[in-house]
Amino acid sequence: MDSRQAWAAVAVLLGVLPLVFDSVLSVGILNQMLIAVLFALSYNTLLGQGGLLSFGHAVYFGLGGYVAAHAMRLTELGSLNLPLVLLPLAGAAGGLFAALLLGSVSTRRGGTAFTMISLGLGELLAAAALILVAFFGGEAGISGDRTAGPALLGVSFARETEVYYHAAVWVFLGALCLAAFRQTPAGQLAMAVRDNPLRAQCLGYSAARVRLLCFLVAGTFAGLAGALFAIHNEIITSQALGTANAGQVLLMCFLGGTGYFLGPVLGAVLLTLCTALLSGWTTLATLYLGLLFVGCVMFLPDGLSGLVVQLHVRWRRGSLRPLVPPLARCALPTAALLLSGVLLLELAAREGAALHVAGLTLQAGNAWSWLGLAVAALIAAWLLRRELPALQAVWQQAGAAGDRQVRP
Amino acid sequence: MTDALLFATLNGLVTGLLLFMLASGVTLIFSMMGVLNFAHASFYMLGAYFAFSLSQPLGFWPALLLAPLLTGVLGALVERHGLRHVHRHGPVAELVLTFGLAFLIEELVQLFWGRATQDFRVPALLDFPLFTLFGQDFPAWRAFMLLLSLGIFALLYAGLTRTRYGLILRAAITHPQTVANLGHNVPRIFMLAFGVGTGLAGLAGVIAGPVLGTWPGMAASLGSLVFVIVVIGGLGSLTGAFVAALLIGLLQSWAIASSVGMADVLALLGLSFPPDHPLRDLWRLTLPQVAPLLPYLLLVLMLLLRPAGLAGNREN
Amino acid sequence: MFCTPPAALRRIVLAAGLGLSALFSPLTLAQEPIRIAFIDPQSGSFAATGNSAYRVLSFAAEHFYNSKGGVLGGRRLEVVALDNKAAVADSQLQLRRAISEGMQFVFSGQSSAVASALSTGIERHNERNPDARVLLLNYAAVDPVLTEDACSFWHFRFDAHADMKMAVMADHIAANPAITRVYVIGQDYSFGQAVGAAAARLLPARRADLQLVGNELHPIGQVKDFTPYISKIVASGANAVVTGNWGADMVALARGIADAGLDLPVYTFYAAYDGITRTLGEAGRNRIHMVHNDHANPFPSDERRDFTLAFEAAHPELNVTQPRLVNTLMMLVQAMEAAGSSDPLQVALALEDSRLTTMTGEQVWMRPQDHQLFAPLHVSVHTDEGIEFDLDRSGFGLRTVHTTPLEETLTPSSCQMQRPAP
């Protein structure tokens, strides 16, 4: 399947999804996923492509969102008559403007200095958002009615599905642009500067200029994603440009893998799904995300997309079959370890309430519950420790000389 | 005004030295491994919580000794099993691991101790006003914090410059290969240094916990400030961190104590703006209002004008 | 499964269940529970207040209604906690979840920003989907604008807003001739600013020699050490402090005042419950006052006492922190019974201008003009003398020292409400 067919298939998939998952909640989650995908893709332009770790990328997302929210509010009040379909462009312009202003100082140096300055600017703007009430609306944020603008072909965007298709078109276009950017000489240069800035400079390219270009592209598409966010929620607050949001997008990219274009997409979809669904099941949702984050950085540094590529390589070489037996032997202890770990944490969080699982009732005050779970966890861990080296050995053998080493 | 200024200076010094205790650990770790430990403030938080839990059965003073030790051991374990494992994937992975750890530790603290502020009190021995000036008491506990911080700085300085171990450590920072060739276990030295750094953070947590509140947000409230200090002081320089920490502590304290605002500046310039001017928030700004922003402004300025920091000797 | 099934599965089961029951008996449909969405933080920094509020509400539903046969002819009240982590975006998500699961009543209150976003969101939703309307019951968000310029037909507020409480506080302060210089300090956001503005307007007007000597705003949640602010308070020569601070900011401020050895009365909105009372302890005895709508010790009625005893027996580690939740629930049920249905429009029309005698024996009134509840307001003091029910198992609690009757709490409103077509 070549890339054109792949893009066409994605377009079809995007069109069909809300017909399958058609409740208001599901379409809302799909919308969120789209926004997250574009945001993560823009962030990966900085991280994966440019090698620049930023802790303040949410600023451009937020600023794009604020521009769009103000435009919506002005349309609602009657002083502006912007159709909704053009709002993402306004957001992108806002993101670009902010990236120009702040990027010219941020991108002078790369590496740790860039990370630190991004952190400083992010904190500065997040704090300023609560002080400069005229633009940022204070704690309540800026709110606007998306149906107030002129209707397009009879569509007023009152329904969730209409907003979804609108976002789907913009995200598809944005992803196309970002994928195309990777193939342009400028995009390739960004990767060159990431890998060896000195060498790129010796070849005559200004590392700072290349970084700035990368930064501008990332900022523009982050602003676009922010505008889509403002349209979807009809409100934006200073939380959108805070460090929590910046941390989330970092997790998305790391989870999905920064080395491949589809990595952030995978990470964004999974993370949005997890946060939306987990919070309905447990109060420890953020704890599990933290564990996932740390686990991902430690055991899956290339992310899920890296894992998929490695599996694909082994499949191509026909060396997947010998993996199955050691995988099977590791699967049960891993599942048992994860289950007992989760149950232990949930029990600790219950504070006296009972936990019902598979016909058993576990109580925080009952020592047997704790003991049983701890013993189960220990046995599972011991079994896993015994079986893991075999799996690792077979894995290495299956992929010897076939793994692409990709460094974020 | 002088009484407010005096108290502001004293409190600025106390805050500054507390921040230095945290920043010194980060600087030490950065010098060793080139990685900025985002989870450093989390060890500060753990120190406070450990001390709170230990002080219930054992009393405050044994907890003061044990909690930093516990935090240091935890830090050493994190280095040994976490950072060292991730080292081969590059500096970005190490940074992101510490970032993830900070997040995770905050969640675990909320799970095991709950979300409310813990009732961690100043020990009865030092819970009295040291002196009263212009109608306001200066608590003895703050004087203790001051003395302890200064003592730790002196110990650290002496330890690094006068003892043999400090010598080996400083050599390992600049010439790790040579030191390894000389027969020293460099990875073990790094692990111990990491432990000492996090232990210091834990100690800061123990003494600050009763005063600044022992709650799950205490790491986030100081974390980014510590990085600002480390960068302004110059990555890798202990003296720079000391000066920067004092500077930030005093600056914030003085800013809050003052009542200067944009209104005064505008009056001086003879300008005035209508109340519904789009930039009205700027014209109504007062210095106390922007006090928390000042460190970040300084950071951005420093990175623009003098990227190596006040006394930096290592940029990356 | 050891946790609640995912939404999709639940919907399928519900749909199947409804379909089957519709086939067999029309009466079974009447047994469908009335589900209430409780959109407030259950995790994160504000989880303690959100969690205790949820427990109080669930317990009240069980204690007053479900254990006695339910409402509207046997329907159970089911309170579903939907965690919004105190964030506006998450609140939108939870609102969508509530709507798609058919819930028609939303309780919220821990944040004025969230309440404002929910109010606007629900108004827009109700306009676009008149067959799936939702009602918002705001039990604690006290930014005055929610029942003034930003009022909405579908929003009802069950707590006195900042201006009302400030008026009572001003009365109480003015009644104390020893207080002549008041220093106001608050968090720099809409609520803190509203408190500051109200204080500046009301205090000097009460008495000729009562003056405001400071009106300070500090960044919310950022100040760990209030000593520099305390220095300014001392320098101003104030003999009372007024603050709207809550949470960690309230604790830090009270600690700072105690550490500095200042023997000043402090008038607050939120200096109790969820660990704050325990932290204030001895240092705040007979000095820290709070304006609220709960009649604290001594309890004037047995019903209140019984409820508190029953709740603390079921949840030994919690206190009844927000009894206005019980009032909110009672007024909602009363309106449902009066309207004879759970349709939000009918319930809203019945809720307007309704009166309730609370379990404390007080009369409260929902004003139809702006959907603001009016009730007697009380000033309580933090103390350990004469406390029957203490807070945080600390021995300290709140004792009522002053009551302002309902008629004297009435304030004008600028609300121009858009009423829906019947």
Q: Which of A245, A269, A299 is the last residue of a domain?
A: A299
Measured between beta carbons, the chain C residues lying within 8 angstroms of A351 are 317
Residue A308 lies in a domain: no
CA distance B199 to chain A (A): 22
C310 touches chain B (CB under 8 A): no
Calculate mean pLDDT across residues C299-313: 88
| pLDDT value for B291 | 84
Nearest neighbour of C124 by CB, restricted to A130, A234, A281 = A234
Verify that A290 and A362 share a domain, yes or no: no
C7 to A141: CB separation less than 8 angstroms, yes or no: no
Verify that A258 and A321 share a domain, yes or no: no
Give the residue, C346 or A80, on which the prediction is more confident: C346
Name the pLDDT band for B100 (thresholds 50, 70, 90). Answer: very high
CA distance C223 to chain B (A): 8
A5: Cβ–Cβ under 8 A, 6 or more apart, which residues? none
> Looking at this protein, which amino acid is placed at residue C41?
P
Measured between beta carbons, the chain B residues lying within 8 angstroms of A247 are 99, 103
Question: Which residue, among A100, A21, A68, has the nearest Cα to A225 in the 3D structure?
Answer: A68
Angle (deg, nearest 10), helices B40-58 and B218-233 = 130
**pLDDT one-digit tens code per residue, C47-63:** 778 888 999 999 999 99
Nearest neighbour of A138 by CB, restricted to C88, C97, C189 = C189
Measured between beta carbons, the chain A residues lying within 8 angstroms of B89 are 301, 407-408
C3 to A282: CB separation less than 8 angstroms, yes or no: yes
Residue A181 lies in a domain: yes
C261 to B15: CB separation less than 8 angstroms, yes or no: no
A130 touches chain C (CB under 8 A): yes
CA distance B209 to chain C (A): 11
Residue A312 lies in a domain: no
In total, the C-beta contacts within 8 angstroms joining chain A to chain B are 118
Residue A155 lies in a domain: yes
Nearest neighbour of A116 by CB, restricted to B93, B107, B227 = B227
C282 touches chain B (CB under 8 A): no
C220 to A237: CB separation less than 8 angstroms, yes or no: no
Within chain C, which residue ranges are assigned CATH 3.40.50.2300?
33-160+310-374, 163-292+376-409
- Burial, C21: exposed, middle or buried (Cβ in 10 Å; 0-12, 13-18, 19+)? middle
Verify that A393 and A325 share a domain, yes or no: yes
Mutation test of the interface with chain A: which of C40, C85, C96, choosing the one with the most A Cβ atoms within 10 A?
C96
Nearest neighbour of B4 by CB, restricted to C45, C225, C232 = C232
Residue A407 lies in a domain: no
Cis bond upstream, residue C6 (ω within 30): no
**pLDDT one-digit tens code per residue, B1-57:** 577 788 888 888 888 998 998 998 898 888 877 788 899 999 999 999 999 999 999
| pLDDT value for C316 | 83
Measured between beta carbons, the chain A residues lying within 8 angstroms of C116 are 140, 143
| pLDDT value for A401 | 53
A24 touches chain B (CB under 8 A): no
A349 touches chain C (CB under 8 A): no
A240 touches chain C (CB under 8 A): yes
| pLDDT value for C22 | 43
Residue C5 predicted with pLDDT over 50:
no
Residue A307 lies in a domain: no
| pLDDT value for C85 | 80
Residue A175 lies in a domain: yes
Verify that A89 and A133 share a domain, yes or no: yes
Verify that A27 and A145 share a domain, yes or no: yes
Verify that A293 and A333 share a domain, yes or no: no
Verify that A249 and A350 share a domain, yes or no: no
Calculate mean pLDDT across residues C299-319: 87
> In what side-by-side order are the strands of the sheet with C155-157?
C77-83, C34-40, C105-108, C135-138, C155-157, C372-374, C363-367, C355-357
| pLDDT value for A147 | 87
Nearest neighbour of A119 by CB, restricted to B97, B224, B292 = B224
Nearest neighbour of B296 by CB, restricted to A51, A124, A132 = A124
Residue A311 lies in a domain: no
Homologous superfamily in CATH for domain C33-160+310-374: Response regulator (3.40.50.2300)
C93 to A276: CB separation less than 8 angstroms, yes or no: yes
pTM of the predicted model as reported, rounded to 2 decimal places: 0.87
Query: What is the residue range of A63's domain?
Result: 3-299
Verify that A22 and A141 share a domain, yes or no: yes
What domain count does chain A have? 2
Calpha distance A208→C226 (Å, rounded): 43
In total, the C-beta contacts within 8 angstroms joining chain A to chain C are 102
Question: Which residue, among A103, A135, A68, has the nearest Cα to A219 in the 3D structure?
Answer: A103
CATH number of the domain that A65 lies in?
1.10.3470
Residue C332 CA, distance from chain mean position? 15
Q: What is the CATH number of domain C163-292+376-409?
A: 3.40.50.2300
In total, the C-beta contacts within 8 angstroms joining chain B to chain C are 93
A114 touches chain B (CB under 8 A): no
Q: What is the CATH number of domain B2-129+136-305?
A: 1.10.3470
Verify that A243 and A360 share a domain, yes or no: no
Verify that A277 and A370 share a domain, yes or no: no
Verify that A41 and A124 share a domain, yes or no: yes
Regions in chain A scoring below 70 on pLDDT: 1, 351-353, 400-408
| pLDDT value for A78 | 84
Measured between beta carbons, the chain C residues lying within 8 angstroms of A22 are none
Calpha distance C180→C174 (Å, rounded): 9
